[in-house]
């Protein structure tokens, strides 16, 4: 099997990555990394989490950040939440390739509460895929997904302190609104990193996090060397 190796030594099958992805990774000025600017923010936040804490990777895809977290802080509890079952299988495969164990995989799509009630949602396979109403996507090219809100995920994790990173391809606004309207949901969340998709959505997420009792530590709606915006927020 031909493997692609990142500068942090994480390895994945080369066939999992598109030619455009490999080209972007190799042209990054900060090294061959998935999201070079966000990775530095991520590692600083992760290393501030105390022993006994948990990291929750929402929208994990094949598990890059889950693998990096377990490799960096093996004593932490790591939860990878991913909507597509095929991607969930890839997390297990990537874990074996990298000789990493102990990542708990949850096959669900995390969305805002108002997106759950009375709606059937589907998702296509691939990077950047977002959950879409069933009547607006080709059923032959997608699968139905289970929807869950952030409160249910956090309620299933017993750790006293939790760090979240979230890349949910447009659903981040609804999740951040839930945190703002139900601040008790995030009582144990010490840090949250949100990947944002569009300047307007970025600004709304930032506003909602501030209403939830977080301070904004890093704010970049358009990083130079990765496609998504970045917000890092810390509980006040």
The answer to the question of residue 214 being in a domain is yes
Q: How far apart are CA 223 and CA 131, in angstroms?
A: 24
Count Cβ neighbours within 10 Å for each residue of 156-173 and write b for 16 or more, e otherwise: eeebebbbbbbbbbebbb
**pLDDT tens sequence across 85-141:** 899 999 999 999 999 999 999 999 898 888 776 566 676 666 666 666 666 666 666
The answer to the question of residue 231 being in a domain is yes
Q: Are strands 103-107 and 109-110 parallel, antiparallel or unpaired?
A: unpaired
The answer to the question of residue 22 being in a domain is no
The answer to the question of residue 11 being in a domain is no
pTM: 0.93
Q: How many domains does the chain have?
A: 1
**pLDDT tens sequence across 145-164:** 778 899 999 999 999 999 99
List all residues 6 or more positions away from 170 whose beta carbon is below 8 Å from its beta carbon. Answer: 130, 197, 201
- The answer to whether residues 226 and 211 touch, using CB atoms and an 8 Å cutoff, is no
Full domain range(s) for residue 142? 34-235
Q: Are strands 132-133 and 147-148 parallel, antiparallel or unpaired?
A: unpaired
Q: Which two tokens stand for residue 206?
A: 């930032």
The answer to the question of residue 23 being in a domain is no
């Amino acid at each position: 099997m031909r493997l692609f190796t990142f500068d942090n030594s994480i390895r994945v099958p080369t066939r999992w990555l598109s030619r455009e992805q490999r080209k972007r990774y190799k042209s990054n000025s900060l090294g061959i990394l998935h999201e070079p600017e966000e990775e530095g923010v991520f590692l600083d936040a992760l290393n501030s989490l105390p022993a006994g804490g948990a990291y929750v990777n929402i929208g994990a895809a094949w598990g890059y950040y889950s693998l990096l977290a377990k490799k960096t802080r093996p004593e932490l509890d790591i939860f990878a939440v991913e909507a597509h079952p095929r991607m969930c299988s890839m997390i297990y495969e990537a874990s074996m390739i990298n000789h990493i164990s102990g990542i708990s995989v949850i096959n669900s799509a995390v969305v805002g509460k108002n997106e759950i009630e009375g709606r059937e949602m589907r998702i296509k396979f691939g990077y950047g895929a977002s959950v879409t109403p069933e009547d607006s996507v080709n059923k032959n090219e997608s699968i139905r997904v289970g929807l869950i809100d952030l409160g249910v995920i956090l309620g299933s994790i017993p750790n006293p302190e939790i760090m979240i990173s979230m890349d949910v391809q447009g659903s981040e606004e609804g999740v951040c609104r839930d945190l703002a309207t139900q601040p008790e949901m995030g009582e144990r969340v010490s840090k949250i990193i949100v990947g944002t998709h569009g300047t307007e959505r970025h600004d709304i997420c930032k506003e909602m996090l501030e209403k939830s009792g977080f301070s904004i530590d890093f704010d970049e709606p358009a990083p130079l060397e990765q496609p998504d915006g970045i917000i890092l927020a810390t509980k006040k």
